[in-house]
Amino acid sequence: MATTIKLEGEVRDEFGKGAARRMRVAKLIPATLYAGGEQPTYVKLPMKETTLALRHTNALFSITFGDETKMAVVKDVQRNPVKRIVEHIDFYEVKAGEKIDVEVPVFVEGTPKGAAVAFVDMQEIKVRADVANLPEKIVVNVDGLTDGTKVLLKDVVLPEGAELDMDEPEASVVTVEVPEDATESTAAAAPAADADAAPAADAAAAPAAK
């Protein structure tokens, strides 16, 4: 479930590319906290701690600046296309007890039967959950499932407290099937096996001919 991460920031009053560059040199990340129709709050956050925190999916952030502390979730992250460093973060302020929509990545666990392999058809599932209990991932168990099996959206077991916020309950989330290359390899091996068996059959028949 959601990880609550505390960050100590500062209010920022400089804007523009030049100010952003100066902040990055100082190992700070410019960020904006949005709160519905209210005036956004502009802060700067420690680069190292914030970058590490962004590894957590759907984390809940407790951001302190001056005498204020606000709870927020990540709305958008802008990264340098070459260096991949974080250049700016947009947060959305939330309140205790509030439910929000989040996209949760899908993972599979377990081993399908035989040569079958599990393919993830839906990379993320949109759910609605309490901000204090946001899921980081949804796990689909494929242990023992056979070729041709599909796990549908309506069959996915959601984390406790999460509600599905998507239409198309019959949509496929995971498909279990034998890959084409595996089928071709099996088919190619069959004639070779017959060819190897032929001399043995002739040898067995030779004594009977006497």
Handedness of CA 189, 190, 193, 195 (dihedral sign): negative
4-94 belongs to CATH 2.40.240.10:
yes
Using CA atoms, how far apart are residues 3 and 105, in angstroms rounded to an integer? 15
Q: What is the pLDDT of residues 85-111, one digit of tens each?
A: 899 999 999 998 999 999 999 999 999
Would strands 138-141 and 117-120 be described as parallel, antiparallel, or unpaired?
A: unpaired
Largest separation between any pair of C-alpha atoms in the chain = 105
pTM: 0.75
| Banded model confidence at residue 191, pLDDT cuts 50, 70, 90 | low
Average of per-residue pLDDT across 58-74? 94
pLDDT at position 181, please?
73
Tens-place pLDDT, residues 130-157: 998 999 999 999 999 999 999 999 999 9
Name every residue whose Cβ is closer than 8 Å to that of residue 163 and which is 6 or more positions away in sequence: 127, 128, 129
34-43, 87-96, 125-134 — which is least confidently predicted?
34-43
| Whole-number pLDDT of residue 200 | 41
38-58: average pLDDT: 93
User: What is the reported pLDDT for 210?
Assistant: 39
Mean pLDDT of the chain: 86
The confidence band for 36, taking pLDDT boundaries of 50, 70 and 90, is confident
Dist. CA 138–CA 107, nearest whole Å: 6
pLDDT at residue 205 above 90?
no
Q: Which fold has domain 100-182?
A: RNA Polymerase Alpha Subunit; Chain A, domain 2 (2.170.120)
Residue type, 11: V
Asked if residue 168 has pLDDT above 60, the reply is yes
**3-state SS, one letter per residue, for the chain:** CCCEEEEEEEECCCCCHHHHHHHHHCCEEEEEEECCCCCCEEEEEEHHHHHHHCCCCCCEEEEEECCEEEEEEEEEEEECCCCCCEEEEEEEECCCCCEEEEEEEEEEECCCCCCCEEEECCCEEEEEEEHHHCCCCEEEECCCCCCCEEEEHHHCCCCCCCEECCCCCCCEEEEEECCHHHHHHHHHHHHHHHHHHHHHHHHHHCHHHC
Q: Domain spans of the chain?
A: 4-94, 100-182
CA–CA gap between residue 93 and residue 75 (Å, rounded): 10
